[in-house]
Amino acid sequence: MGKLIVQKYGGSSVANVERIKNVAQRISSYHKKGNSLVVVVSAMGDTTDELIELAHKINPEPSEREHDMLVSTGEQISVALLAMALHAIDCEAISFTGMQVGIITDANHTKARILKINTERIKKALKEGKIVIVAGFQGVTVDQDITTLGRGGSDLTAVALATALKADECEIYTDVDGIYTTDPRIEPRARKIKMITFEEMLEMASLGAQVMQARSIEVAMKYNVPLHVRSSFNNSPGTMIVKEAPRMEEALITGITLNKNEAKITVCDVPDKPGIAAQIFKELAEAGINVDMIVQNVSRTRKTDISFTVASTNLTKALKVSKKIAESIQAGEVIEDQDIARVAIVGVGMKSYPGVAAKMFECLAKHKINIEMISTSDISISCIIKKKYAEEAVRALHAAFGLG
């Protein structure tokens, strides 16, 4: 009796004709062993980025509905091509858009949330012995508007389908052969992690590790769907993301992440009275802007500065809203800083060991890297530093915590 396996192939895995044919061969080998397969595919290579660039050339602030209409086309191309590649090697396959397989989302364009999945159509095709190819990253509202699930949304499509179909396995194929202690392009001595917990992976993903979308890890964690992250270019085992990972007692830190796509906004001379911070962040939230780190200086003059970070993509919108708020609360000027990066250390081992923060700060000080903002969670410590020191900081911390 074969298994029901959900596989997801990222953009680099289907970037060109040759790679699509390779993916088809891999899928076929699974199918020949009697497994049922649901395959989620991203857009080819950099298609999504190219479409976004095109949109911005037409209109610097495109409507979010039309943005989704445009960028969702990338996945439609790759699912059709992959189905054709499977037909060429005598495999019965059928491609579907998110809409056709009933991925119903809310109407929050560009970062929609999945509400439910109607799996009937997939189940029917599987029963007929077909390989089901599904366009990742997209869904549809109850009013039949196309939506997208945010950057890296194909991961979420795969995990959500694995949950809805009660799949036996969920494999995430990418261009790296697993999760590393840090980005191997920055630190060649980075080591592949064999097993990592959902909690650590979620933290690493939300702090900038590019391998998995944070929201997909949230869903996997909630429904306990173990994930196998591996390379589509070889057959070596990758990294298992699971509920609990056996670990050596002394492993304090699991990984180090870097995110250069952040910007800092400072609202100067904010009146120091109750309710002002609430007003600022309520209005930003209502504009759909996710605020990350927040630092408020101590007030000595009945006025204070409030700094916060946002994703670079939200900077224009966040600045607009912040300037409007500053005016209404009679604050001073609003300053932006795009020359920042966030470096973070992540590890469940931190919970039981004091002194991890001190070690991180000492390491950065030794390399004369100034820390502008700090935030911590149970299992991570993040520092905002100048962008030019980003890579150096990653390498220094990787060595300091003995991750190589």
210-225 pLDDT tens trace: 788 999 999 999 999 9
Backbone φ, ψ for residue 394 (5° rounding) = -60, -45
Distance, in Å, from the CA atom of 27 to the CA atom of 44, rounded to the nearest integer, reads: 17
Which sign does the torsion angle of CA 194, 196, 201, 204 carry?
A: negative
Residue with tokens 């040759």: 18
pLDDT of residue 178: 93
**Residues 319-355 pLDDT 10s:** 999 999 999 999 999 999 999 999 999 998 888 788 8
State both tokens at 102.
């009933």
Distance, in Å, from the CA atom of 328 to the CA atom of 322, rounded to the nearest integer, reads: 10
Q: What is the mean pLDDT of residues 186-206?
A: 93
pLDDT of residue 248: 54
Name, in order, each residue with C-beta under 8 angstroms of 43's C-beta and a sequence gap of 6 or more.
11, 71, 74, 75, 77, 78, 137
CA dihedral 243, 226, 350, 181 (to 10 degrees): 160
Distance, in Å, from the CA atom of 88 to the CA atom of 80, rounded to the nearest integer, reads: 12
Q: Write the CA distances from 14 to 31, 36, 44, 96, 317, integer angstroms.
A: 19, 21, 5, 17, 34
pLDDT of residue 370: 96
pLDDT of 250 higher than 60: no
Backbone φ, ψ for residue 109 (5° rounding) = -55, 150
How many C-beta atoms lie closer than 10 Å to residue 378's C-beta? 9
The strand pairing partners of 135, in sequence order, are 41
Name, in order, each residue with C-beta under 8 angstroms of 188's C-beta and a sequence gap of 6 or more.
none
**Residues 257-306 pLDDT 10s:** 999 999 999 999 999 888 888 999 999 999 889 899 999 887 778 889 99
**Residues 293-309 pLDDT 10s:** 999 887 778 889 999 99
Q: Write the CA distances from 1 to 97, 119, 392, integer angstroms.
A: 29, 21, 51
**Residues 81-135 pLDDT 10s:** 999 999 999 999 999 999 999 999 999 999 999 999 999 999 999 999 999 999 9
Closest CA to 42 of 205, 176, 152: 152
